[in-house]
Structure 1
Amino acid sequence: MSIVRTAVFDLFRSHGVNTIFGNPGSTELPMLNEFPADFRYVLGLQEAVVVGMADGYAQISGTTAVVNLHTSAGLGNAMGAVVNAAANRTPMVVTAGQQVRAMMTLEALLTNNDATTLPKPAVKWSYEPPRAQDVPAALARAFHIASTPPTGPVFVSLPMDDFDAEVDESEALAVSTRKVLSRTAPLPGAIQDLARRLSSAVNPVLVLGGDVSATGSLEIAVALSERAGLPVWAAPLEGRLCFPQNHPHFQGFLPPAIALLSAALGGHDLIVVIGAPVFRYYPYLPGAYLPEGATLTHITSDPEEAAKAPVGDAIVGDTRAALEMLTEHVTPSGRKVPPRGRPQPEPDFAVENGRMSPVSVFAALADAAPADTIWVNESPSNTLMFQDRVRIGAEGAYLFTTGGGLGFGLPAAVGAKMADPGRPVVAVMGDGSMHYALPAMWTAAAYGVPLTIVVLTNREYSILKWFSQLEKVSGVPGLDLPGIGIRSIAQGYGLATYQADSREELAAAVSAAVAGRGPTLIEVPITSTVEDLNP
């Protein structure tokens, strides 16, 4: 016979897991008793930070992350980050401790009442095993569900007295060694028909999403684009690199508003969307979903995503398989693809009132950071300028949350660096976004994670001022952020800090930071980017 704790860690090993992200409480201590020497426990000081770190780690490593949270209170603290992980399609097994079974009926302190309801609807599956002996099988099922397309987080509640219970060793071994292979190819006939339509269309276009990166299909997408002479747009609000942004066929990023997106695709008669929803829209700017004369075909691994699209036909199947089949069957074309426009020029001034322009900041970052840098972006009001200037071409080199919730960027950058220590990681943060996940800096310092954090300081929620213009509202409180000393805060967590007031100072600081051995924060005061949208 064996015990549940031993079976659980054997199960983790069988799934290639040796890192657990967590913030434990008393209900988690029995699981962590005599913690195995071949595992690493990455402590975060707040539960949303823990999930964010696991999110970045899973996306960069291509594995399913394991998260260890504290009963209902800890899970509640983490839920915003779990919502982001669900939108990001990040495979993740989230566990939380539970009161001992003998006390659950009494609803004693730390009992997670109705534990499986709390994380819904953000998780794919939520479960509390009925017996201690069922814990290994429940966690095995969680791994399979989390990693089966469409991938995403799952939740398992684990009573604290389960881990010393005996389990049948042969049953535990059988559970831990099972494999579920989940790559499902789309219908060949449907793909062959689409390939013929692509070949005969006058002006077709590809719109690609994050699943291209998640399935390791960037090179295949490039081959399809080049073979068929197809311009490529990134779908709106995608969180991963879906096509090399320095490739001559790349056109840019589609806007997430209905009317603007349709206008951007004007002139195309066939739109093929692969690995993204049709589409992520916000804000509401109504109009035609497609330009006049255009048809759309959607390829996705998610049947629900296919069903809810407002327009177009859909083919459900694996993104990588679909790209491979399309590339094989499409007729080579000599179509000329128009080049993407040149980057926005830097303003005439270098510094205005002691502040750099965001364009100048991103021009300096693009020059100073190594070519294989992993970029994490959470500077909402400056995202378009970042995308225009920092044209990323390396596989797995970009993370951005598709969920819309702040607090992802900083912990995701820590997790990304832990997943791939050999690549530099640069997190571009707004000074408002930065404060949703400050404790991630402690983890970076405590674990010696050599991360570069660039904070663009404008002392306001600039993106909300932009939305105020769009929504024609005024007098909104709470949009200014005076009196924050971000470098002092970072120093308190143990980071090296700098302030860069010019392009030259920023380039030098970034070069030094990416070559350093610990986390570094660089504060860059910037001009406001709010645009007057009123007539």
Structure 2
Amino acid sequence: MTRTVRDATFDVLRHHQLTTIFANPGSTEVAFLTDLPDDITFVLALHEGSVVGMATGWATALDRPALVNVHTTAGLGNAVGALATARVNRVPLVVLVGQQDRRHLALQPFLAGELEGLAGNYPVWVRTPARPQDVPGAVARAWHEARAGRGPALVIVPSDDWSAPAEDGPVPAPAVLHRADAVDPVVVDELAALVAGSASPAFVVGADADDADTWHALVRLAERLRCPVWQEPFAARAGFPQDHPQFAGHLPAGRGELRQALAGHDLVLAVGAPVFRQYPYEEGPLVLAGTSVALVTDDPEDAHHSPADLAVLANPAAVCALLAERVPDRPDAPPPAVSRASAPAEPGDGEPLRAEHVMAALAARIPAETVVVEETPSSRPDLHRLLPARRPLGFLSAAMGGLGFGLPAAIGVRMAAPDRPVVAVVGDGSSLYGIQALWSAAHYGVGVLFVVLANGRYAIMDRLAAQRGGKPPWPGFEEVSVGGLAESLGCPARRVSDHAGLVAALDEVVPTLGERSRPLVLEVAVEPS
């Protein structure tokens, strides 16, 4: 039997552990997807945003690229917002995009697409192979590009390429490509001198510090310096244990409050975080005069657009470990003065539930290894204040800010890490951007607890309109039942509207999170804060 391009591509996918395909199928991919080999797993989602969101959660949990397949123009177009989130979250994806038959593309047939620019600059690499025989090499290259660029790499494959005969010979991409994480000690000298000479340093951490080695190095360094550690405001992941006594909280989003939070520090060292992502725009500098800013990152893009006095482009864990060896211990320095949020009082009889009550109830019950996936813009400050990340990957969100990430990402995380409890905390408005993902959770037996904060409106938008002194033109959507939608998609759901019902539901469900194989939507009626 003639060996085909499809056969050769499957060998490449096996070599790079890309044996789970997240997809919503289209006709231009039928030749690739029909009669998959037994060792290739197909995972269906009902919308391309959910496809990419699930793959993003999967790749985040496993720390390696995930494989996505999307249909030509419509499928890639539907996926663009989620691909943008994957890029800003620094998550590697290999994305196969279907295209019409190569033999009549010149005639612009039905379902042909202008695909190479459709996702804009969000892919880290895009390629349409010049010949069918170049497809396996392009897929191998995409795997390396996705890892190196930490984002989605796209390969556009005309439908007839899959059945073309493959070529014997080497694939034009390395079978193994190692990236050295070692840091030349000389590179750290200038940074160490700057830190050691600081009278009052502060740290700001971000998503690229979210791994066990970086947490360990940062804890040791912060404890030697007796300095506060802040989380940057829009990070997709936690860069430091948020139950540590030196964790100072999340930086405010506005420049004025940022300057106030960092006032009194002559050095701000950002680790795994850009300098600084603020919103909305406000006049004035990021930090006060007399405060130096240094940056440690392994992301060239962050290094190039951050206004830092000194930047080190290297592995954050390795740099911080060296710094902890080189900076002097400060045993006589007073510990940083950080405030701790206290749990809100339980609502009395007849008082409405608010998001803070839900966060406090979760914080009192979920185990430390829980992954909390957040997509509730109006309640995110309550979550940050009351529900700390205590383990690496304890918090996950969309750094891009676009909605539709939370539900599918939580499913992907749980599929990739079935030993970790996963709780998604999403707003009802946010849930509607990715509600189709609940079908996948139910169909594949993914035991995520989805806590949907239901206020029947876009509360964050209402708040922003009020801040401008105006009245919003958009209505509420109180008649939408997220629980009803979940059940229509085969996902169990229940609704609670008081504190007693909330506590009873959590006491029943939370102890089962580690081993449960059935998802649950807990729709919690809340009033905006």
The two structures have a TM-score, normalised by structure 2, of: 0.95
Determine the C-alpha separation between the residues in 1 that align with 2:107 and 2:346: 70
* 1:277 correspondence with 2:278: no
CA pair 215-18 structure 1, distance change in 2 beyond 3 A: farther
CA pair 215-103 structure 1, distance change in 2 beyond 3 A: farther
* 1:336 correspondence with 2:337: no
Paired residue secondary structure (1:405): coil
CA pair 350-121 structure 1, distance change in 2 beyond 3 A: farther
* 1:303 correspondence with 2:304: no
Determine the C-alpha separation between the residues in 1 that align with 2:348 and 2:485: 28
Q: Deviations over 1:372-395 (max 9, x none)?
A: 111001111111111111112112
Determine the C-alpha separation between the residues in 2 that align with 1:41 and 1:107: 30
Q: Match of 2:167?
A: 168
Unaligned runs of 5+ in 1: 530-535
Alpha-carbon shift at residue 412 of structure 1 (Å):
0.4
Letter in 1 for 2:82: A
Q: Match of 2:55?
A: 54
* 1:195 correspondence with 2:192: yes
Determine the C-alpha separation between the residues in 2 that align with 1:498 and 1:143: 41
Determine the C-alpha separation between the residues in 2 that align with 1:4 and 1:348: 62
Determine the C-alpha separation between the residues in 1 that align with 2:337 and 2:445: 42
Determine the C-alpha separation between the residues in 2 that align with 1:411 and 1:226: 37
Determine the C-alpha separation between the residues in 2 that align with 1:21 and 1:511: 33
| Counterpart pick for 1:490 among 460, 476, 486 | 486
Q: Match of 1:111?
A: 112
Letter in 1 for 2:433: Y
Unaligned runs of 5+ in 2: none
Q: Match of 1:346?
A: 344
Determine the C-alpha separation between the residues in 2 that align with 1:513 and 1:495: 15
CA pair 215-13 structure 1, distance change in 2 beyond 3 A: farther
* 1:502 correspondence with 2:498: yes
CA pair 290-59 structure 1, distance change in 2 beyond 3 A: same
Determine the C-alpha separation between the residues in 2 that align with 1:44 and 1:348: 39
Q: Match of 1:137?
A: 137
Determine the C-alpha separation between the residues in 1 that align with 2:329 and 2:465: 48
Q: Match of 2:155?
A: 156
| Counterpart pick for 2:313 among 311, 316, 324 | 316
Q: Match of 1:518?
A: 518
Determine the C-alpha separation between the residues in 2 that align with 1:351 and 1:341: 30
Q: Match of 1:442?
A: 439
Letter in 2 for 1:107: Q
Verify the 8 A CA contact 2:346 2:357 in the aligned structure 1: no
Verify the 8 A CA contact 2:204 2:232 in the aligned structure 1: yes
Alpha-carbon shift at residue 351 of structure 1 (Å):
5.6
- 1:415-434 → structure 2 map (5 Å cutoff): 415-434=412-431
* 1:452 correspondence with 2:449: yes
CA pair 369-159 structure 1, distance change in 2 beyond 3 A: same
| Counterpart pick for 2:473 among 470, 473, 477 | 477
Alpha-carbon shift at residue 345 of structure 1 (Å):
4.3
- 1:256-271 → structure 2 map (5 Å cutoff): 256-271=253-268
Verify the 8 A CA contact 1:227 1:331 in the aligned structure 2: yes
Verify the 8 A CA contact 2:210 2:239 in the aligned structure 1: yes
Letter in 1 for 2:382: M
Determine the C-alpha separation between the residues in 2 that align with 1:396 and 1:30: 37
Determine the C-alpha separation between the residues in 2 that align with 1:62 and 1:147: 10
Deviates more, 1:4-13 or 1:335-344: 335-344
Letter in 2 for 1:197: L
Alpha-carbon shift at residue 131 of structure 1 (Å):
0.4
* 1:127 correspondence with 2:132: no
Determine the C-alpha separation between the residues in 2 that align with 1:393 and 1:46: 33
Deviates more, 1:436-445 or 1:12-21: 12-21
The runs of at least 4 consecutive aligned structure 1 residues that moved more than 4 Å come to: 184-187
Paired residue secondary structure (1:171): coil
Alpha-carbon shift at residue 347 of structure 1 (Å):
4.3
Q: Deviations over 1:105-141 (max 9, x none)?
A: 011011112x211112111111100100100111111
Verify the 8 A CA contact 1:63 1:91 in the aligned structure 2: yes
Q: Deviations over 1:143-188 (max 9, x none)?
A: 111101x41111110111111222234324x74x611222455553
Letter in 2 for 1:40: T
Determine the C-alpha separation between the residues in 2 that align with 1:169 and 1:117: 32
Alpha-carbon shift at residue 227 of structure 1 (Å):
2.7
* 1:463 correspondence with 2:460: yes
Verify the 8 A CA contact 1:365 1:506 in the aligned structure 2: no
Alpha-carbon shift at residue 243 of structure 1 (Å):
0.5
Determine the C-alpha separation between the residues in 2 that align with 1:372 and 1:45: 30
Percent same amino acid among aligned pairs? 37
Paired residue secondary structure (1:205): strand
Q: Deviations over 1:63-96 (max 9, x none)?
A: 1011000011100011111111111011111111
- 1:29-108 → structure 2 map (5 Å cutoff): 29-108=30-109
Verify the 8 A CA contact 2:276 2:286 in the aligned structure 1: no
Verify the 8 A CA contact 1:350 1:356 in the aligned structure 2: no
Paired residue secondary structure (1:41): strand
Verify the 8 A CA contact 1:250 1:339 in the aligned structure 2: no
Paired residue secondary structure (2:487): helix
Q: What's the RMSD between the two structures over aligned residues?
A: 1.8
Letter in 1 for 2:116: T
* 1:250 correspondence with 2:251: no
Determine the C-alpha separation between the residues in 1 that align with 2:346 and 2:12: 59
Verify the 8 A CA contact 1:233 1:254 in the aligned structure 2: yes
Alpha-carbon shift at residue 497 of structure 1 (Å):
1.6
Deviates more, 1:162-171 or 1:396-405: 162-171
Verify the 8 A CA contact 1:434 1:455 in the aligned structure 2: yes
CA pair 450-348 structure 1, distance change in 2 beyond 3 A: closer
